[in-house]
Every structure is written in structure tokens, then in C-alpha cells.
């Protein structure tokens, strides 16, 4: 063991005042750095000398830091993914009209007097209004389609040409539906990305035909892959989009609509537009209010608030788990340092006999505990960063290590090492040389 560990020496007795003022601080810093280096090196020697004991302690500290790093990073990635998904819904400034469910016998009797939400209502419901940018009718049914090689049961949805743009359904291959398709009632279709991958694998399906209820439809486009955050998203990704005029002629003789969506020019006009749509629906349905209006923007805000509440719950659960693991790791540090104190009583006494102060012994033991915690935290950091890199492709903006989570993990690990290493360090610093060397 070097002289720096045994004692921090003072200046030579023959040195003058000038030498004392210039050399003493520098010599003191050098000796403290030497002491720190000897303690760090000695800590690694102790770890290597007791491999099993050190491995158990380091594993607990590593798991605690690993859990905190991965937890904070993954939760941030999930938050980004969900925010991207909600933004992709294009529900800002959007209200939707749907048939109301009859909950009582009186409702059933009244609703039976109305023909329901039908394609013929669009002339009244979709009349131009200065507060509405567009009306988007939608009709969906599930049916069997036939392609070369077999059949598949999927969703067929009739939409207008501006549906893809206004509801954020970008086209990945080919083209979208056009006003010319609608005017001609063309038997053309845009395939959802999920369905296209399922039916055609990696091949380009544009130009191929699918048979829907005995009618061949030419595939003109494929939607881009997207996150599925609503029922309509699921139907579109797993089905076919066709002109709504073609749908009414070929798919549904009753001309039933699933919903009518209104895209507003300003979100401030939500209540006015809701009242407008209800008034138009009553006029179209002989005074019977058999539809309901939903503010999708408000529903999205409620859904996101629920998601954030669930995320807070998960943070508490996972943070508690990581804290428990780190706490057990801290107890492991205490055990290691107590055993180290018992094994090195003679060494402590010898150092004190040669002039080492109580503070130097305290510093030595605390630094050894911090070295032990730092090794475990470093291993946990590398393992967490490696896992985040492997999971990065699952998130829209990648997955990077959260610096706040990393800092918290290190502070907690080193803080616990300091707290649990303090008792053995105090015992070692207060040990008298005669008692230790007896």
C-alpha cells in the first residue's frame, strides 16, 4: 500500500515560509489524488478477490439502474408513439354524426318511423355552410372478397375522394380515389396497408383485381402503414376503400350510412355545427332525432388524458420496482463493506498507527462503497442503452436513453452506496490502533 494511503504527509521540516505557501497546497492535492487512486484500485482488487459476493451485489445495483434507464426511455418512447398516433387521427375540429342506439321501447318505436341515416340525406345534411370545410359520408360493411389463391373476409368502405386527404390516409403506392371515379361510379379500390401485406406480401398489388360480391374491382392504390388508434383506422387498414357512389350501387341497396363527418374551419364553432347537424337531421327524418353528434377533438383529449393517467400509474409501479432492487443492492453494499471492515482491521490499525486521520479512513471506506456502486451503475447503463438500441425500430422517433432517468438512476445508486457505506466507514474511522492491531 502506498505512502499516500498510509498518511497524508506534511512539508519537510526544513522548508521555508515561501515553500510552505506554494508547495503545501499542491502537495496536499497530489496526496489526496494518490489516496483516491489507491482506494479505487484497492476497491477493484477487493471486487476481484471476492468474485461471488461482488457479483451478487453488482447484479442488484445493475438491475436497479437498468430498470430505471429502460423504464424512463421506453415510457418516453410510448408517449411519443401515442402522441404521433393521436395526431394522425386528424380529429382536430371534427364532429361526427352517427345513428343513435335505441335504449328504450319508446326509442325503438320512434326510430322505426324514420328511415335512418341514409345516402339520400346528404343533399340536406351536407349542404354547404360557411363554418364547415367539408362533409365526409362513410358507409362500411364486412363481406367476402376473392383473389387469386383464395378468399378473405374484410371491410369494404365507401368514401368520398377528399376522404384520404382530410382524414390523413396517405397513399403509399398508386393513387387515391378521384372525383372522376365517383362521378363514373367506377369499380376501383384503394387497399389498406395491412390487408395488402396480408394478401400480396411484398408484391405491388396496383393493377390487380379483387372480386367483391361477384364484382371485379381494380386496385389503383395502397394506403401507407399507420398506427391504429380508432375503429375507422382499423377498418381502413384491413379493408378496401371504394367510391361511396359505387358502394351504394353495388354494395347496399338500402343506402345506409355508417356516419357523416364534418370538418370545421374553426374549432370554436363546434357547438354551432353540432346544433346545425341535429337540426338538419330532424328535418330529414320527419322531426325524429335518431342521430347523435360526437366532438372527436374532445374525445381525443379525454382519451389522451386517460392514457397519461395510466402512464403515471406505470411510472409509479416501475419506479417502485427499480427502487426496491436498488435498495436491496444498497444492503448488499453494506454487507460487503462490513465484511471488508472485519477483514482489514489490522490494516486500519496500522494506517492509524502511522498517522492516518479518522477522516482519511472514513474517506477511504466511503470511496470504496461508491466505486462498488459506480461499477454496478455503469454495467446497468450499458445494458439499458443496448436494449434501447435494439427496441429503437419499434418507435416512430426511435428510442434514446432518457438523460433524466439515467441521472436519477446514478444519483440513487451512489446515494444508497453512500448511506449504506457510512456505517462501516464510521466504525473503521473510530477504531483505535491498539484495538485494531491486538
User: Would you kindly state where each structural domain of the chain is located, as residue ranges?
Assistant: 3-8+21-85+303-437, 101-289
Inter-residue contact 417 to 370 (CB < 8 Å):
yes
What pLDDT does residue 47 have?
61
What pLDDT does residue 11 have?
47
- Tens-binned pLDDT, residue by residue, of the chain (438 aa): 444 444 444 444 444 444 445 555 565 677 667 766 766 666 666 666 666 666 777 787 888 888 888 888 888 888 887 777 777 667 788 899 998 887 788 877 787 778 888 999 898 888 899 999 999 999 999 999 988 778 889 999 999 999 998 888 999 999 999 999 999 999 999 999 999 998 888 788 999 999 998 899 999 999 998 877 788 889 999 999 999 999 999 988 889 999 999 999 888 888 999 999 989 988 888 888 888 988 888 888 788 888 888 888 888 888 888 888 888 888 878 877 887 778 778 877 887 788 777 887 887 788 878 888 888 889 889 998 898 888 888 776 778 888 888 888 888 888 988 898 888 888 888 877 777 666
CA gap 213, 210 in Å, rounded: 10
User: Residue 256 gets which letter from DSSP?
Assistant: B
**Grid cell for residue 401:** 436513453
Name every residue whose Cβ is closer than 8 Å to that of residue 283 and which is 6 or more positions away in sequence. 124
**Grid cell for residue 39:** 482506494
- CA-based torsion, 420, 425, 428, 430: positive or negative: negative
Residues in the chain: 438
Q: Which residues pair with 188 in a beta bridge?
A: 218
What pLDDT does residue 5 have?
45
Name which of 69, 9, 6, 87 is nearest 39 in CA terms: 6
Is the whole model's pTM more than 0.85, yes or no?
A: no
What pLDDT does residue 328 have?
81
3-class DSSP assignment, residue 262: strand
CA gap 187, 212 in Å, rounded: 10
What pLDDT does residue 24 have?
53
Amino acid at each position: 500500500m502506498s505512502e499516500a494511503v498510509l498518511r497524508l504527509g506534511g512539508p519537510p521540516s526544513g522548508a521555508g515560509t515561501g515553500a510552505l505557501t506554494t508547495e503545501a497546497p499542491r502537495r496536499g492535492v497530489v496526496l489526496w489524488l494518490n489516496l483516491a487512486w489507491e482506494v479505487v484500485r484497492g476497491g477493484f482488487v477487493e471486487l476481484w478477490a471476492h468474485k461471488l459476493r461482488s457479483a451478487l451485489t453488482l447484479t442488484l445495483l445493475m438491475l436497479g439502474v437498468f430498470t430505471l434507464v429502460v423504464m424512463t426511455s421506453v415510457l418516453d418512447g410510448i408517449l411519443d408513439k401515442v402522441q404521433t398516433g393521436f395526431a394522425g387521427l386528424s380529429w382536430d375540429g371534427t364532429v361526427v354524426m352517427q345513428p343513435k342506439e335505441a335504449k328504450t321501447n319508446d326509442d325503438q318505436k320512434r326510430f322505426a318511423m324514420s328511415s335512418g341515416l341514409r345516402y339520400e340525406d346528404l343533399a340536406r345534411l351536407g349542404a354547404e355552410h360557411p363554418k364547415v370545410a367539408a362533409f365526409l359520408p362513410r358507409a362500411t360493411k364486412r363481406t367476402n372478397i376473392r383473389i387469386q389463391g383464395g378468399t378473405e373476409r374484410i371491410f369494404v368502405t365507401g368514401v368520398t375522394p377528399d376522404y384520404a386527404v382530410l382524414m390523413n390516409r396517405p397513399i403509399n403506392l398508386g393513387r387515391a380515389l378521384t372525383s372522376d371515379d365517383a362521378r363514373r361510379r367506377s369499380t376501383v379500390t384503394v387497399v389498406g396497408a395491412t390487408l395488402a401485406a396480408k394478401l400480396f406480401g411484398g408484391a405491388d398489388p396496383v393493377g390487380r383485381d379483387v372480386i367483391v360480391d361477384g364484382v371485379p374491382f381494380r386496385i389503383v392504390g395502397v394506403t401507407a402503414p399507420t398506427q391504429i388508434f380508432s375503429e375507422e383506422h382499423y377498418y381502413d387498414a384491413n379493408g378496401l376503400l371504394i367510391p361511396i357512389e359505387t358502394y351504394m350501387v353495388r354494395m347496399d341497396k338500402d343506402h345506409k350510412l355508417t356516419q357523416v363527418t364534418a370538418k370545421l374551419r374553426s374549432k370554436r364553432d363546434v357547438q354551432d355545427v353540432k346544433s346545425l347537424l341535429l337540426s338538419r337531421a330532424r328535418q330529414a327524418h320527419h322531426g325524429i332525432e335518431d342521430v347523435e353528434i360526437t366532438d372527436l377533438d374532445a374525445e381525443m383529449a379525454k382519451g389522451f388524458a386517460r392514457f397519461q393517467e395510466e402512464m403515471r400509474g406505470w411510472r409509479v409501479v416501475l419506479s417502485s420496482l427499480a427502487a426496491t432492487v436498488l435498495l436491496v443492492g444498497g444492503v448488499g453494499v453494506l454487507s460487503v463493506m462490513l465484511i471488508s471492515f472485519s477483514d482489514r482491521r489490522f490494516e486500519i490499525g496500522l494506517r492509524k498507527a502511522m498517522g492516518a486521520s479518522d477522516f482519511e479512513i472514513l474517506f477511504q471506506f466511503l470511496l470504496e462503497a461508491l466505486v462498488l456502486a459506480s461499477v454496478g451503475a455503469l454495467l446497468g447503463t450499458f445494458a439499458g442503452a443496448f436494449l434501447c438500441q435494439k427496441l429503437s425500430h419499434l418507435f416512430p422517433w426511435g428510442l434514446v436513453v432518457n438523460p433524466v432517468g439515467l441521472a436519477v438512476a446514478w444519483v440513487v445508486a451512489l446515494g444508497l452506496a453512500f448511506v449504506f457505506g457510512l456505517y462501516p466507514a464510521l466504525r473503521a474511522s473510530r477504531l483505535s490502533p491498539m484495538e485494531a492491531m491486538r
